[in-house]
Amino acid sequence: MEEAVADCVAALGTVTDRDWGKVRAGRLEWDCRETAAHIADDLIAYAGRLAGRSTAGHLPFTISLDEDTDNAGVLKTIEATGALLAAAIRTTPRAVRAFHSYPFRHANREGFAAMGVAEVLLHTHDIAEGTGITYEPPAELASFVLTRIFPQVRPGPTPWQTLLWATGRGALPGREPVTGWKWSNNPLLHSERLVLEGVTPATAAGLSLAGDGGYEWVGGAAADGTREGAGIMVRQYEEGVFHPEWGMYVLVRRDDDRAVGAMGFHGVPDGEGRVEIGYDLVAGARGHGYATEALRTLSAWALARDGVRTVAAVVERENAPSRKVLARAGFTEAGEEEGRVCYELRG
CATH of the domain at 79: 1.20.120
Q: How far apart are CA 120 and CA 126, in angstroms?
A: 10
Please tell me whether residues 160 and 233 are part of one structural domain.
no
Residue 183 identity (one-letter amino acid): W
Residue 142 counted as domain residue: yes
Taking the C-alpha atoms of residue 278 and residue 281, their distance in angstroms, rounded to an integer, is 11
Residue 102 pLDDT greater than 90, yes or no: no
Please give the Cα distance from 41 to 63 (Å, whole number): 5
Residue 17 lies in a domain: yes
Would residue 183 count as lying in a domain? no
Find the CATH number of the domain harbouring 192. Answer: 3.40.630.30
Last residue of some domain: 110, 135, 166?
166
Q: Are residues 75 and 129 in the same domain?
A: yes
Q: What is the pLDDT of residues 164-189, one digit of tens each?
A: 999 999 999 999 999 999 999 999 99
Nearest Cα residue to 122 out of 3, 202, 26: 26
Does residue 227 contact residue 280 with C-beta atoms inside 8 Å? no
**130 within a domain of the structure (yes/no):** yes
If asked whether residues 29 and 150 sit together in one domain, one would say yes
Check: CB of residue 233 under 8 Å from CB of residue 266.
no
Percent of the chain with pLDDT over 70: 100
Q: What is the DSSP string of 189-217?
A: EE-SSEEEEEPPHHHHHHHHTT--TT-EE
Query: 256 to each of 221, 249, 268, 314, how far by Cα in Å?
Result: 16, 17, 31, 31
> CA-to-CA distance for 104 and 100, rounded, in angstroms?
8
What integer pLDDT is reported at residue 251 of this predicted model? Answer: 98
Residue 230 lies in a domain: yes
Q: CA Rg, the chain, in Å?
A: 23
pLDDT bucket at 347, cuts 50 / 70 / 90: confident
The per-residue pLDDT for range 10-28, each reduced to its tens digit, is 999 999 999 999 999 999 9
Instruction: Indicate whether 115 and 216 sit together in one domain.
Output: no
| Residues 32 and 154 grouped into a single domain | yes
Q: Look up the domain containing 276 and give its range.
A: 188-346
- 279-313 tens-digit pLDDT: 999 999 999 999 999 999 999 999 999 999 999 99
What mean pLDDT is predicted for residues 98-117?
95
Neighbours of 249 (CB within 10 A): 27
Any domain includes 269: yes
Q: Please report, for residues 31, 130, 178, 231, the alpha-carbon distance to residue 172 in angstroms, rounded to integers and kept in the order given.
A: 26, 21, 10, 26
Query: 209 and 150 in one domain?
Result: no
- In this structure, the answer to whether residues 146 and 198 fall within a common structural domain is no
217 in any annotated domain? yes
Does some domain include residue 250?
A: yes
Domain shared by 144 and 231, yes or no: no
Q: Which residues contact residue 304 at a Cβ distance below 8 angstroms, ignoring those fewer than 6 apart? A: 347
Identify whether residues 336 and 266 lie together within a single domain.
yes
Give the chain's domain count. Answer: 2
Strands 258-265 and 216-217, sheet pairing: parallel
Run of H or E including 225:
helix 224-239
Rounded to 5°, angle at Cα 320 from 318 and 326 = 120
Claim to verify: residue 338 and residue 212 sit in the same structural domain:
yes
Domain match, 150 and 20 both: yes
Last residue within a domain, chosen from 166, 197, 215: 166
Of 166, 196, 218, the domain-final residue: 166
Asked whether residue 120 falls in the same domain as residue 235, the answer is no
DSSP designation for 275: E
